Structure 1
Amino acid sequence: FFLTARHSIPLRTIAWSFYAQGVGAWVIFSMPAYVVSAGIVGLVAYAVSCGLPIIIVARVGAILHRKYPDVLSLGDFVQWRFGTVPTIIVTLVMLFNMSIALCAEYTSIGNLMEFVIGGSRLPIILCVAIVTSIYTAAGGLYVSILTDVAQGVFGIALLAVMAIYVAVTYRPESLPTPLPELLGPNYWGWAAVGAMPISMTCATMFSEAPWQRIWASADERALRRGSIWGALGLMIVCFLYGFGGFLAIWAGFPSSSDDGSTAFFDLLGAGQATAPAWITIFAALSTVTMNEGCVDSIQNGIVDTLASRFFRGKSVWYPRVLVFLINVPIVFVSLKGYNVIILFLIGNLVCTICAVPLLLGLVDSLEGYVTGWSMVFGMITGFFSLVVFGFLKLGNIADGMHYIFIEAYDWPSFVLPLVFSAIGVFIAAAIEGVIRKACGFAYP
């Protein structure tokens, strides 16, 4: 129960929890930063892609939960369906993905202090890490979900106040016309239509946080409706913060960061060097509130992944200690101030390579044919499709890998591994079938 809060959370609470675990401080910084290259089309694609995966994962999770009602984590399912080696791979991918997400949250709250308020990023990061770790270690997932309601309501209330403030202070008549090319429809915006839904869905699949909400939902009705309401809220809030950045960039307001990540805060200043203190405080409170709601969810997800694999059936004090330990290296990395968009790009690509082979394990007609061997082979072919694409794109593998994993959310980077990982699974399954038939080995 500490890890899953099994069947204890009603519809309204789980809806707020689905929302709060997805929205975080990264939204306030990443959405405006993405507008700089992808424009309004990219913003819409990104916002929709933030909510859509919750609905998809909830549907997949309902199927998984019916078939394997005793699972504690996604790793449990992989162990029972595919065996030890795929479980190790999936567990590592999940830990890597969630660690990046947690690092992005700590980096975002650090950016608030460094670029907006003008202080050191270390104290606020330590404060958030310690506070969330204390109540997460004390109450586990159940307490985390209960706090999501207050965090979600408070965050939306603050956003409403800021929206009213912008409506009063923003002056459309001073905007340059026509719309600057970088903000209108462009290649990167249309690329986002293909890249972002795949990217965000696969990343959500390899985060334990939404899966935990599936185990915790009181019943399937609460899960279905709660995921829809949570997803809609997430789409709207992500769009509004990104649109605020869009308005600031369109108006040419001075930016306190080079990559446009602080554009929403620049909007509140309405072209002045600083915004009024009271609205800056509201924005900071909103950032911290969203940050805590996301951080405690990811902490729970990482702990669930580790505890269900290594401490199953043991004292609850093991995962409680883990809550504190996992934060140490992630806090250290977050102090480097890496670009949040790039952090997500790396994790999302790794998840995209592994997603389809995992999903094929849920198809009833493929049980027994899609095995651990074919799953791993599919991941390998998915990765090598990126190697080939990078080489063809830039002429050498090193530059190609840098472009794919560090530079750009290009649509082939996400479509190719999705397609070729599926092809790899079926090729491996066919080879295994031929070998089994020739040697007289039956399928398990």
Structure 2
Amino acid sequence: MGSGIFFSYPELATLAGLQGVIVYALSSALPLLVFAALGPVIRRKCPEGFVLTEWTRQRYGVVTALYLSFMSLVTLFLYMIAELSAVGQVVNALTGLNGLPVVIVECVVTTVYTSLGGFRISFLTDNIQGAMIVCLIIIATVAIGVETNINPDLVKNSDLLSANLLGWQLLYILPVAILTNDFFLSNFWLRTFASKTDKDLWVGISAAMVVILIVLTMVGCTGLIAAWTGAWDPDTMADSGSIAFFLLLEQLPAWVVGIVLVAVITLSTAAFDSLQSAMVSTASNDLFRNRLNTWWIRGAVVLIIIPVVVLALKAPSILQIYLITDLLSAATIPVLVLGLSEKIYWWRGFEVLVGGLGGIFTVFVFGSIYYDSAKAGGELILLQQGLYADDWGAFGAFVAAPIGGLIWGFIALALRLSVQFVMAKKSGRRFDALDRPFPVPQLQSQDEGYEGVSPEVTREEVPAGKGVGKFF
């Protein structure tokens, strides 16, 4: 979790109250369990892989894998923008100084040590930074509890403890958005495949889930405390909910602000080096099949950081950036994961690609009809109004994306089977598009470890025309 949590979670607290805080924290923590549940399944199906796109290439073929790689790289790119934008805004809000020098130093430092140490050094620093964060959060929590004075009248008049329309909408929006978006984050898959056994994976993810749930709930509640202490006034600062946390800090001693600043930079560094490692791994494996020297890939990532920094300085709401990536994933992941089921062996990459793009198109169609404007429909894809609008636009977008994706996927399936049936009849051969593919033996052990283990039959040995990695 990066420094953006100090903007997005308190901001949502000012919008949806305690209900929003609880839903957002649970929706961020619980989806991590999907890696414990599906990680072992994917590892047994693709023991040589280390990112989700490797299984996608094996199951659906090159075209679909490149599509997923593109979506993953776009998501990582947007997350990098959000991270640098957040840390720059934090430094400016806490110290009044220009955040650009801190952003540049962070980029240089993380680039140097991830280039020299790769994923291992990122993994090591994350553990150190994680321990630091827990200690700093505890100190900051105690300080806020001691130093702030909550006004009971403001608590009563704020309505932040009451249920609200946005809070109920978030019960659907956030789980769908965050769960599907986690699939695009290669830094999570790197850690999933790196675990020695399935048991270790479950233990690690369970511990992470508990810690993240507690930390995010605490951070989100600062938005409530800011309102109840008068630091944030809903009548005059309704559009400034993203800085509620920092308005609260203005009431605290300077040493607390210093601790929070250290925590923010530590969180940001931990998140940013993971994103860099994930981008290098994804580009090297998916685009160049690890044939290109890694240093060329690292050099390209360094060049990408330049527009990331430029865009970060002009970035809109951190929450909006997250929502854009969430909408992309909500359209693609449902049609992708259907291929994990052995019973849906007839699902192909063509359906995944058409379904993913169709889901985004469905959002545009919904927005155009709902707002009676094609321009508004296009803006809904970018969620330019975020979650602020008092309507059903955002909710409808997150319904249209996955459902539209599945509908378009099955339309593509019907089209593909129809074309293949006609071609089979014309050529006088048997229609075999629904034949079960030749089975590839999978790794059966769950707790023996995965290092150095490969299938009994390689993908190259699968008979032509019967492989599971075909686009059509």
Normalising by structure 2, what TM-score?
A: 0.84
Secondary structure of the equivalent of 1:407? coil
Determine which of 247, 250, 273 is the counterpart of 1:266: 247
CA distance in 2, matches of 1:337, 1:345: 13
CA distance in 2, matches of 1:222, 1:307: 27
Correspondence for 1:442:
432
Determine which of 405, 424, 427 is the counterpart of 2:411: 427
Where do 1:219-258 residues align within 5 Å?
Answer: 219-254=197-232, 258=239
8 A contact 1:75–1:87 mirrored in 2 = yes
8 A contact 1:79–1:86 mirrored in 2 = yes
1:227 Cα deviation after fit: 1.1
Runs of 4+ with deviation above 4 angstroms: 254-258
Comparing 222-231 with 285-294, which one deviates more in the overlay?
222-231
Letter in 1 for 2:262: L
Question: Residues 116 and 251 (structure 1 numbering): CA distance in 2 closer, same or farther, change over 3 Å?
Answer: same
CA distance in 1, matches of 2:76, 2:36: 18
- 1:133-186 Cα distance to aligned partner (Å, 9 max, x none): 111111111111111111011011011011111111222345425241366321
CA distance in 1, matches of 2:134, 2:271: 14
Q: Does 1:217 align with 2:195?
A: yes
Letter in 2 for 1:27: I
Letter in 1 for 2:39: G
Correspondence for 2:454:
none
Determine which of 373, 378, 387 is the counterpart of 2:355: 378
Correspondence for 2:445:
none
Q: Does 1:281 align with 2:258?
A: yes
Larger radius of gyration: 2
State the superposition RMSD in angstroms.
Answer: 2.0
8 A contact 1:137–1:319 mirrored in 2 = no
Where do 1:393-408 residues align within 5 Å?
Answer: 393-403=370-380, 405-408=383-386
8 A contact 1:110–1:337 mirrored in 2 = no
- 1:402-437 Cα distance to aligned partner (Å, 9 max, x none): 245211343222122212212222232233234333
Q: How many residues align?
A: 417
| % identical equivalent positions | 27
CA distance in 1, matches of 2:101, 2:279: 23
CA distance in 1, matches of 2:303, 2:36: 29
8 A contact 2:82–2:321 mirrored in 1 = yes
Correspondence for 2:21:
43
Correspondence for 2:281:
304
Normalising by structure 1, what TM-score?
A: 0.89
- 1:41-69 Cα distance to aligned partner (Å, 9 max, x none): 11111111111221113322221111001
1:191 Cα deviation after fit: 0.9
Letter in 1 for 2:37: R
CA distance in 1, matches of 2:194, 2:148: 43
8 A contact 1:115–1:257 mirrored in 2 = no
CA distance in 1, matches of 2:73, 2:56: 15
1:317 Cα deviation after fit: 2.6
CA distance in 2, matches of 1:324, 1:178: 51
Q: Does 1:168 align with 2:146?
A: yes
1:336 Cα deviation after fit: 1.3
Secondary structure of the equivalent of 2:35? helix
Q: Does 1:141 align with 2:119?
A: yes
8 A contact 1:198–1:415 mirrored in 2 = no
Runs of 5+ unmatched residues, structure 1: 1-22
1:325 Cα deviation after fit: 2.8
1:198 Cα deviation after fit: 0.6
Correspondence for 1:5:
none
Runs of 5+ unmatched residues, structure 2: 388-393, 425-430, 434-465, 467-472
Q: Does 1:102 align with 2:80?
A: yes
1:320 Cα deviation after fit: 3.6
CA distance in 2, matches of 1:62, 1:128: 35
1:309 Cα deviation after fit: 2.2
CA distance in 1, matches of 2:159, 2:227: 12
Q: Does 1:349 align with 2:327?
A: yes
